[in-house]
Amino acid sequence: MLDVCLLGTGGMMPLPYRWLTSLMMRYNGKSILIDCGEGTQIAMREKGWSPNPIDII
């Protein structure tokens, strides 16, 4: 199963509850992090996703 989560969709500056752009995908037990902006680790924790392990950045 493919899980896709937009962790951040903000612009150049982070705003409250709107982090800089980042996308995380999980597929076949692998975690892929794309465009890792500021606040990504906070957004991941809010979604209940662990930042470890990330297989591909």
3-class state of residue 34 by DSSP: strand
Residues 47/51/56/57 CA torsion (nearest 10 deg)? 80
CB of 55 closer than 8 Å to CB of 36? no
CA angle 54, 10, 40 (to 5 degrees): 20
pTM of the model: 0.71
The 10s digit of each residue's pLDDT in 1-56 is 898 988 888 888 777 778 888 998 989 989 899 988 788 888 888 888 877 888 99
Least Cα distance to 12 among 42, 37, 44 occurs for: 37
